[in-house]
Structure 1
């Protein structure tokens, strides 16, 4: 082994060790939460969430309680899954169409609309909340799922992402399809959309994660306890009059499951979608 090979091997080992350390730091909160979910609520009150615990106290009582008695928790869980699924489907459908149009069609005002998308992208959502809230009141959509969904249907970040990805699609396929007699909708749904599958998978994960963890906007527009999403429902368990840690800690662990499943299904396209979509244009 020459000096250069030895240097490269040492650098590789150093990089691997660094990644292991960073991974442990990233997983530390999850490990703490997982271990805390196996501890009695009385011990959680005394010691809080940490990696220090008495092995003899670990049990699955908190999960048993969730699956047998915490019926309201599963109502919140179902609400979050419904809203997240609808957000993913509607956002991918409409945002991909807008991004595709901005990239593949030459029409008057195209650049203006794209700059408008970038401008909206730079505005913090907290600034838009008040006009959006007044809009939902005027539409009489307060305390409905529609109020939660409408602001996320055409997300600026998704439009920008799909536009950048669509810029790299071969336009010759569109011309060939037109010669064969296909209309514009057929070109998009049958030819171009399948080519955008990596970008759709990557954005499905990002949009799903954002919708699943969304707390502030649903808190503003939802009123009924039976319509709460998981972040809001779990927050209601912490009150000045008592804290239901049995549901809170174990329930928080259960919220990770759908995101893991979503990533497993789309991980094949996730990295390639982000990489290609980020360099086109």
Structure 2
């Protein structure tokens, strides 16, 4: 969950940075595709993703579970809207000071994005932690099952272990609660904290 969320936040914000600040040929088409992918349910993509995982031998691996979900169209759209609100004076000042585009991203854009990162961290960690359908399709070995799949195996037509199910459900909610407590203080931060004053 931590690896998937971290990579998803970094890659999605990086793509959003490019879509927001650069005017290149095909930019509107890429933005439209991102919005279109937000409307496509994951169930439609399962078969082609499954065939892809077979072709690159990632079935029954943890890489196969989180690699297809590493970049989220919703996160790209969210970060793009946020970066659109970043004052362009900051970006221009960085370029005047001789910063390259990577330095502008890491030293100017990222430090004023904690509210956006915290909101997406909560959303994407919940999505990763509670993902049931895709891991169920990809994973084969019982030892590699994620917690939601493991909890599901406790419910059978012959015997249901409700005592273990309740304890497991509590264990499943604790990481999300901890993440929310850790990141919720950033929600009250200003959208352009650290920006140009006066």
TM-score using structure 1 length: 0.66
Per-residue CA distance 1:172-192 (angstroms, 9 max, x = gap): 222211221211101101111
The root-mean-square deviation of aligned C-alpha atoms, in Å, is 1.6
Written as runs of structure 1 = structure 2, the 5 A alignment for 1:10-159 is 84-159=1-76
Structure 2 residue 88 is matched with structure 1 residue 164? no
Per-residue CA distance 1:37-82 (angstroms, 9 max, x = gap): xxxxxxxxxxxxxxxxxxxxxxxxxxxxxxxxxxxxxxxxxxxxxx
Q: 1:102 touches 1:110 (CA, 8 Å); kept in 2?
A: yes
TM-score using structure 2 length: 0.92
Q: Higher Cα Rg: structure 1 or 2?
A: 1
Match of 1:260 in 2: 177
Residue 182 of structure 2 aligns to a residue whose secondary structure is helix
Match of 1:225 in 2: 142
Q: 1:202 touches 1:271 (CA, 8 Å); kept in 2?
A: no
Matches of 2:110 and 2:22 in 1, distance apart? 15
Written as runs of structure 1 = structure 2, the 5 A alignment for 1:201-280 is 201-270=118-187
Per-residue CA distance 1:208-237 (angstroms, 9 max, x = gap): 111111100000001111100100001011
- Please, which runs of 5 or more residues in structure 1 have no aligned partner? 1-83
Deviation at 1:269, TM superposition (A): 2.2
Q: Using a 3 Å threshold, how does the CA distance of structure 1 residues 270 and 87 change in structure 2: closer, same or farther? A: farther
Matches of 1:254 and 1:144 in 2, distance apart? 23
Structure 2 residue 95 is matched with structure 1 residue 178? yes
Matches of 1:251 and 1:111 in 2, distance apart? 45
Matches of 1:208 and 1:105 in 2, distance apart? 29
Matches of 1:206 and 1:271 in 2, distance apart? 17
- Please, which runs of 5 or more residues in structure 2 have no aligned partner? 193-198
Match of 1:188 in 2: 105
Kindly report structure 1 stretches of 4+ aligned residues shifted beyond 3 Å.
270-273
Residue 237 of structure 1 aligns to a residue whose secondary structure is coil
Number of paired residues?
A: 192
Matches of 1:271 and 1:212 in 2, distance apart? 25
Matches of 2:113 and 2:70 in 1, distance apart? 18
Q: 1:96 touches 1:159 (CA, 8 Å); kept in 2?
A: yes
Matches of 2:113 and 2:166 in 1, distance apart? 39
